[in-house]
Amino acid sequence: MEYRTLGKTDIQLPVITFGAWAIGGWMWGGTDVRAAEEAIHAAYDEGITAFDTAPVYGQGLSEEILGKALQSYPRDRVQILTKYGMRWDLEKGEFAFLSKNNAGKEIKIYKYAGKESVMKECEDSLRRLKTDYIDLYQIHWPDSTTPVEETMEAVQRLIEQGKVRAAGVCNYPVPLMERALSVIPLASNQVPYSMVRRDIEQDIVPYCLAHQLGILAYSPLQRGLLTGKYQPGHVFREGDTRPDTPYFKPENIKRINAFLDKIRPLAQDKGVTLSQLVIRWTVQQPGITVALVGARDAHQAKENAKAGTFTLSTEELQKIETAYQQLSLV
């Protein structure tokens, strides 16, 4: 496994980092706790020592599963990345959306990152994760009701207390990153990025490169679409939100599959799977520190890890780019 330094910190992360959204079940049609724990252990065995989660993933379930599983390893051998700023238990801040929890009950999700809320969320996460510090603490989404400066001052306080090692943001545009940097030394920005979703290349990537900020790319497989296993008309489990996204429109699935057919021979020639090729492409793009990849069972975790064991040549990267330039989504 290849490891990289996160921004200006001394935190080393595997280029393939475990994304723990899916194991929380929320928006993924439920979870199998035993399989999730096996996925975590399999990932660690393959050199994936970093795990990215959030309280809202299953309303605490993802963090609890991680907290239990990671007790098997020395704390300084794993990197725990979690978030704050999305509340389902407090109607305050910026209303985000209505959702359903794993029990099928409708819940309201709010974006809120006021100082006291951040401090409380940290304590709750530490308890669920069964640890006394968090390696990277990230605001999950911008909160328009709270000044960025207030939020970052709270995280700075947590760093001073030894409860957090480094501060990160997620889904932050450049102007908000600038405001955050005026208060605290940011380590990274976590943003969506994949072969078919590249908008961050316009401004966020150049800004992070110029300021030595890490980029944690989430959904590099576009929530599984870039595995090539989905066809138009696929029936998802109840509670799975993927059909509501533009990438999973039947026509886009068709066009993306045609794109994947063009690059599939590259994977076959290298003796890797299409998913591994896609993930590897992601971590070889300028500015990208790691790719966050989910796994719901041990097999998926092992397969994901292999993307950190080979490289793509300049010629191979160019062939992928040529195929991408011919892709047009609706």
Q: What is the mean pLDDT of residues 105-112?
A: 94
How does pLDDT run across 69-87, given as a tens digit for each residue? 999 999 999 999 999 999 9
Domain hosting residue 212, numbered range: 3-223+275-311
What is the mean predicted confidence (pLDDT) over 295-319?
95
Q: What is the pLDDT of residue 95?
A: 95
What token pair was written down for 232? Answer: 């138009």
| pLDDT single digits (tens) 119-164 | 999 999 999 999 999 999 999 999 999 999 999 999 999 999 999 9
In a domain, 244, yes or no: no
Q: Which residues are catalytic?
A: 57
How far apart CA 173 and CA 169 sit, in angstroms, is 10
| Amino acid letter, residue 251 | E
Let me know if residue 203 belongs to a domain: yes
260 part of a folded domain: no
The answer to whether position 231 is within a domain reads no
Q: What percent of the chain clears pLDDT 90, i.e. is strictly above it?
A: 85
Q: Is residue 292 part of a domain?
A: yes
Tokens representing 276?
Answer: 């591994």
How much is the pTM?
A: 0.94
Bridge partners (DSSP) of residue 192 are 218
Query: What letters, b where the CB count within 10 A reaches 16 and e where it falls short, cover 41-80?
Result: ebbbebebbbbbbbbbbbbbbbbbbbbbbbeeeeeeebbb
3-state class (DSSP) for residue 137: strand
Query: pLDDT per residue over 14-49, tens digit each?
Result: 999 999 998 887 777 777 889 999 999 999 999 999
Average pLDDT, the chain: 95
Q: What is the separation, in whole angstroms, between the first and last Cα of the chain?
A: 37
Query: How many domains does one find in the chain?
Result: 1
Please compute the mean of the pLDDT values over residues 98-117 and round it to a whole number.
92
Write down the pLDDT at residue 32: 85
- State residue 198's pLDDT score: 96
Q: Above 80 in pLDDT, residue 239?
A: no
Tell the burial category of 225 from Cβ atoms under 10 Å away from its Cβ (0-12, 13-18, 19+). buried
Q: Edge-to-edge, what's the strand order for the sheet holding 86-87?
A: 86-87, 106-111, 94-100
Greater pLDDT, 119 or 239: 119
Confidence check: pLDDT of 231 > 90: no
**What pLDDT band is residue 113 in, cutting at 50, 70 and 90?**
very high
For residue 225, what are the CA distances in angstroms to 34, 280, 281?
Answer: 25, 16, 15
Beta strand residue intervals within 58-197, DSSP E: 79-84, 86-87, 94-100, 106-111, 134-139, 164-170, 186-192
Write the CATH number for 211.
Answer: 3.20.20.100
pLDDT tens-place string over residues 241-277: 788 888 999 999 999 999 999 999 999 999 999 999 9
pLDDT at 240 over 80: no
